[in-house]
Amino acid sequence: MELSMPPPQIYVEKTLAIIKPDIVDKEEEIQDIILRSGFTIVQRRKLHLSPEHCSNFYVEQYGKMFFPNLTAYMSSGPLVAMILARYNAISYWKELLGPSNSLVAKETHPDSLRAIYGTDELRNALHGSNDFAAAEREIRFMFPAVIVEPIPVGQAAKDYLNLYVMPTLLKGLTELCKQKPADPFFYQVIATTHLPPPSCTRCQSCNPMDCSPPSSSVHGLFQARILEWVTISFS
């Protein structure tokens, strides 16, 4: 009886964290807490937002009484934006932050970051994305070039490599040893992409070494696969 394993479920969330202007001098201390809490700091940047940029970032709060004070506070000096990643990053970061009102946090969650570093309801020290949609929007706002996608790590990454990468790579390398082609790179392109040579006019199962060089589409597929391997291996 042949057993089949389902595709590995690799879900590593990303969330946006902001160290607000009045506590940027505590950045190193806060980053240490973040790392010790199991997060990976994927990217980090220090920037000074204008009131207009702050209004765009907090657009969902527009119209509320505290909105002018909020944008003035967030544009009062440099802040530090970070992309944090780990399993259930959004909920874990929110839990680490505590209640949004630092006065409440000091009463109910005295060990939370907002209780420790915050002052009141407005100056609550740190920001965290509320949900996945907010995290995606906020990350793109602060880091426009970033692609929001899961990061495979630990055992999940090993499972992916063992199930999907190693068998294909082993097959290609085995055939490479058997055939000993004059152009090993070209042969590996064909073997690992499981595609017939695109320019072949004779059949679908001919020796790749007897056919024309691979088209740009095959090169693109091969490059994409190599990029996928590298991304998984070094995340």
Question: What is the set of active-site residues?
Answer: 127
CA angle 214, 220, 224 (to 5 degrees): 135
Dist. CA 122–CA 60, nearest whole Å: 16
How many residues are given for the chain?
235
Specify whether the CB–CB gap between 38 and 86 falls below 8 A. yes
CA 213, 215, 217, 220 torsion-angle sign: positive
- Residue 196 tokens, joined: 């017939």
Strand segments (E) across 112-210 = 126-128
Tell me the Ramachandran region of residue 87: left when phi exceeds 0, alpha when psi lies from -120 to 50, beta otherwise.
beta
- Residue 133 tokens, joined: 């949609």
| DSSP-assigned beta bridge partners for residue 14 | 85
- Residue 176 tokens, joined: 């490479």
Residue 11 backbone dihedrals phi, psi, to 5 degrees: -125, 100
Closest by Cα among 70, 67, 20 to 46 = 20
